[in-house]
Structure 1
Amino acid sequence: MTSEQNKTFDLSASFKAYDVRGIVGESITAEIVEAVGAAFVDVLGLEGQTVLVGGDMRPSSPEFSQAFANGAATRGANVQLLDLISTDELYYACGALNAAGATFTASHNPAEYNGIKMAKAGAQPISSESGLKEIQALAEQYLNSGIIPAAGSRGAISVRDVLKDYSEYLRHLVDLSGSGPLKIVVDAGNGMAGLTTPAVLGDKLLPALPFDIVPLYFELDGSFPNHPANPLEPENLRDLQAAVIKHGADIGLAFDGDADRCFVIDEKGEPVSPSAITGMVARREIARAQAAGEQTPVIIHNLLTSKAVPELVAKDGGRAVRTRVGHSFIKAVMAEEGAVFGGEHSAHFYFRDFWNADTGMLAAMHVLAALGEQNGPLSELGRQYEPYVSSGEINSEIEDKAGAVERVRVDFENEDIEIDHMDGSTFTAKDGSWWFNLRPSNTEPFLRLNAEAKDQPTMEKIRDRVLALVRA
């Protein structure tokens, strides 16, 4: 076997902890994808069953969807091609149709990338702990020796459109028809929200809502000609912030490339933190669950979310459960706890009514409902949910990450604090005035700092002290 073949058939470069992601034509090709489709069917035992396959607006997604479908059909699954979909549309389809599926997307990664997000029936996530490693190993085997047709008949491939059903389902979860009129600027970043926003919030497929939507970069274009579809980076929000001011809008929404995350901008052009959005949606979901007879609804939040979230949850009669960062952990705890809602600092929002999966659009709808049913501006509404001051995530490039954390621990050891190691190291002042977390990146030489305090001077003092120790 040549080194070139070795390179082609070792998929460890593109198989990550939660999904597949690689550079098109190098670590992800149609041949590789076809083998993954076949392995997907075998590992999950899907011969004779339905498999759903869709993709985002990246140029390679249609070819990859077809290749995956061919591999799956060769191993005896009946494939329904969903065509252009957002990632949360896949979760909807896997949940509503109770079928396993895959979508081709590289989320917010640059244009040269594509990837695969996979889910079991009922939108249960697939990760390296729950089948992804086995799919990789079998796909490598098929690439080396060829895909063997299933003993039974080859599966059929058909086409199915789920956009209208998805839109109706979301509207059924949050009734926006009685909202006050709102002017909304939406930055789709040339990603899938350019398709889903007019369907869910506009009048393209369903009756009009009392919204005036100002579209920004709705043209589906996987080359991302305007800015990267990653709203986590502040520079990618600038066009939206300017447009909100220019149009005198009530709110701005920014989605990432596959539209599973949503960021919110207030009428002044200022970001509303994902922690504040978590608190806002949690309050609504607790009230709704209580109205349905649930005594103490559970809300999940990761450990980097503002401490305002568990405080608000307790005040509203819910129970807050703190988790590690990462969607596979959140989804597992959502299922274990029967949680009604979960939020992360990275703007992933999870809903029990959405099969415990994350959906940026449903979170946006809750915010629109909260804003539309009261008279004040979003800046005032958001302030209720942001009583503390956060540093945001600050990365330091450090080779000896453990040594840097130990320097911090030694410096703080005589202070009245608690330290826990759920995910990295979280230092919390016992008087409640501040906390900070140091997390090493698993894939890069970065140590990530997140700090929060009761006021700006305290936050800056803690932030600067920790960074000086880390970078010493």
Structure 2
Amino acid sequence: MVPAASRPDLDQVFKAYDVRGTVPDQIDAELARATAGAFVDVTGADRVVVGHDMRPSSPELAAAFAAGASAAGADVVMIGLAATDQLYFASGHLDVPGAMFTASHNPARYNGIKLCHAGARPVGRDTGLSEIRDRVAAGTTYTAPRAGEVSHRDVLADYVDHLLSLAPVTGRRLRVAVDAGNGMAGHTAPAVFERLTDIELVPMYFELDGTFPNHEANPIEPANLVDLQRRVLEERADVGLAFDGDADRCFLVDEQGALVSPSALTALIASRELAREPGATVIHNLITSRAVPELVTELGGTPVRTRVGHSFIKATMAETGAVFGGEHSGHFYFRDFWRADSGMLAALHALAALAESDGPLSGLLAEHQRYALSGEINSTVDDPGRVLEQVRATYAGRDGVTLDELDGLTVSHDDWWFNVRPSNTEPLLRLNAEGRDPATMERVRDAALDLIRSHA
């Protein structure tokens, strides 16, 4: 065990929702092994499931974690290459805690660990991750009288079965372009789409390559969707799907090559879930378009607003029994998927809705795109708290304006709103704005940005 004093600052690696850093200076096999022992101790697990993505460092780190968990007395089920939602499926299906080795959309030099309790319940800073970090920092060694057994199991077919049982795709034939970004959708998409006989698949960058040779596997950045937009138009595809590196997020491009707002997809999926379960609760985070709670209410459902972040979404879903939750970052959560997020399940809902309709995707989504959204804009600031106070002072007391601090600061008006919230890990403020039309949004966005950056 590496002495705690010689380790990098663990607070830089153990973040709000996961463990993440550069390899090997911040994350290495020894840290993975130590984290496994602490994870078994904190969760009390006698069995854990472990998966990993396609990054060059992932197999070694996953094997080290398995060795550490085994030494601590837990049996280990290795599922090998997996998308993050495939690991969540395994955790839920087997009802055991899990560990997924991935750094999602981060560059190749990064890796990390997403941890969950049994049933895919999240492990975050307030739900066990701080305790795990403290045990790792203390250098405690976990050696059980009997080492656990390490076995291997392929859960891909069971994962596909479950997804298709939740969102079967039937109806007219569709041509679908899929950009896997050389990430784990290149592993899961072929298994899913080979079962969809009425789908003509146009694959893009399905080769698993953790160096990301074509573009970053981060579809929230428009530059990374340019190839997909072009391919949709060239192939006359009905829809384009883009996944991030670990395939837990999905973004859409319509038949005209236009980017689809994740809020519009949230509203579409919410309408499908409410048709299946009238009156159900739907979760949306506070940077999601106003169109989402409006539509949920119009359809007889109950919208519930939460902070940004999967741990808040999942906790609120558990408290309310919500059937579905969506985030504007492209994460979509399903009660019937153990309240976990699945990019592939969101994609299947979109395909199912499109296959059942007569028109194009742009027409199907028109009702769900009522307002103009800015997207997230980051500003580097020395003192985020001081800047937030200045924004608050500037807008407090204005006619028709309300403020709330559910997550950062949200400033609302009948015609517009914007939210400014600090990053958990960097000296950044993140701005999202929406207006009744593009001109209103741009005016509100620019005024907020000027205020933020003039006090940075």
Q: Distance in 2 between matches of 1:169 and 1:44?
A: 26
Task: Report SS of the residue matched to 2:434.
Answer: strand
1:283 aligns with 2:266: no
The reply on whether 1:258 has 2:241 as its aligned counterpart is no
Matched, 1:333 2:316: yes
Match of 1:150 among 144, 150, 161: 144
Corresponding residue number in structure 2 for 1:293:
none
Spell out the pairing of 1:41-440 with structure 2 (5 A cutoff): 41-46=40-45, 49-142=46-139, 147-151=141-145, 153-176=146-169, 178-200=170-192, 202-203=193-194, 207-290=195-278, 296-412=279-395, 413-429=397-413, 432-440=414-422
Contact map agreement 1:275 1:345 (CA 8 A) in 2: yes
Q: Distance in 2 between matches of 1:402 and 1:128?
A: 21
Which letter does structure 2 place at the counterpart of 1:150? A
Alignment deviations for residues 191-222 of structure 1 (CA, whole Å, 9 cap, x no partner): 0000100111x22xxx4420011110000001
Contiguous gaps of at least 5 residues in structure 1? 291-295
Give the drift of 1:366. 0.5
Preserved CA contact (<8 Å) 2:243 2:251:
yes
Q: Retained in 2: the 8 A contact 1:35–1:140?
A: no
Deviates more, 1:459-468 or 1:371-380: 459-468
Residue by residue, what CA displacement relative to the aligned partner does 1:393-427 show, whole Å, maximum 9, x if unpaired?
12222224344344444443332211111111111
CA distance in 2, matches of 1:317, 1:189: 38
Cα distance in 1 between the residues matched to 2:386 and 2:129: 33
Q: Distance in 1 between matches of 2:8 and 2:426?
A: 25
Cα drift, residue 447 of structure 1:
2.1
Task: Deviation per CA, 1:236-258: give whole Å up to 9, x if none.
Answer: 11111111111110000000000
Any idea what SS the aligned residue of 1:131 has? helix
- Summarize the Cα distance change of 1:408–1:22 in structure 2 as closer, same or farther, 3 Å threshold: closer
> Which SS does the other structure have where 2:163 is aligned?
helix
How far did residue 140 of structure 1 move? 3.2
398-407 vs 89-98, greater mean Cα deviation: 398-407
Q: Counterpart of 2:113 in 1: which secondary structure?
A: strand
Structure 2 residue runs without a partner (length 5+): none
Cα separation, 2, equivalents of 1:5 and 1:96: 36
Conserved? CA contact 1:51–1:79, under 8 Å: yes
2:127 counterpart SS class: coil
After superposition, give the CA deviation of every residue in 1:245-296 in whole Å (9 maximum; x if it has no partner): 1111000000000000000000111111000000000000011113xxxxx2
CA distance in 1, matches of 2:13, 2:321: 33
Look up the match of 1:456.
Answer: 438
Give the CA deviation at 1:5: 6.6
- Deviation readout 1:333-387 (Å, 9 max, x if unpaired): 0000000000001000000000010000000000001111111111111221001
**What is the alpha-carbon distance in structure 2 between the residues aligned to residue 130 and residue 408 of structure 1?**
32
In structure 2, how many angstroms separate the alpha carbons of the residues matched to 1:387 and 1:9? 48
Once the two structures are TM-superposed, the CA of residue 148 in structure 1 deviates from its matched residue by 4.4
- Rounded to whole Å, the distance in 2 between the matches of 1:459 and 1:5 is 49
Q: Is the 8 A contact 1:19 1:115 kept in 2?
A: yes
With the length of structure 1 as denominator, give the TM-score of the two structures: 0.93
When residues 287 and 110 of structure 1 are mapped into structure 2, their CA distance, relative to the original with a 3 A threshold, is same
* Conserved 8 A contact 2:16-2:124: yes
User: What CA distance in whole angstroms lies between the structure 1 residues aligned with 2:128 and 2:408?
Assistant: 26
How many residue pairs align between the two structures?
Answer: 453
Distance 1:277 1:128 in 2: 29
CA contact (8 A) 1:404 1:470 kept: yes
Paired AA for residue 428 in structure 2: F
CA–CA distance in structure 2, aligned partners of residues 284 and 228 of structure 1: 31
CA gap of 1:99–1:248, structure 2 versus 1, over 3 A, is same
Q: 1:314 to 1:7 in 2, by over 3 A?
A: same
Over 3 Å counting, the alpha-carbon distance change for 1:86 and 1:401 in structure 2 is: same
Q: How large is the RMSD of aligned CA atoms in angstroms?
A: 1.7
Q: What are the superposed Cα offsets for residues 73-107 of structure 1, whole Å, 9 maximum, x if unpaired?
A: 11111111100000000110111111111010000
Letter in 1 for 2:309: G
Q: Distance between the aligned counterparts of 2:388 and 2:142, measured in 1?
A: 51
Structure 1 equivalent of residue 14 of structure 2 = 15
Separation (CA, whole Å) in 2 of partners of 1:37 and 1:407: 44
Tell me how far apart the structure 2 counterparts of residues 9 and 408 of structure 1 sit (CA, whole Å). 36
Paired residue type of 1:468: D
> Which has the larger displacement, 19-28 or 132-141?
132-141
Shift, 1:433, TM fit: 1.2
| Aligned-partner Cα distance in 2 for 1:365–1:462 | 35
Does the 8 Å contact 1:10/1:140 carry over to 2? no
How far the C-alpha of 1:141 sits from its partner, in A, is 3.4
Code of the aligned partner of 2:155: V
Deviation at 1:10, TM superposition (A): 5.0
Of 278-287 and 30-39, deviating more is 30-39
Distance 1:373 1:44 in 2: 44
Over 3 Å counting, the alpha-carbon distance change for 1:161 and 1:384 in structure 2 is same
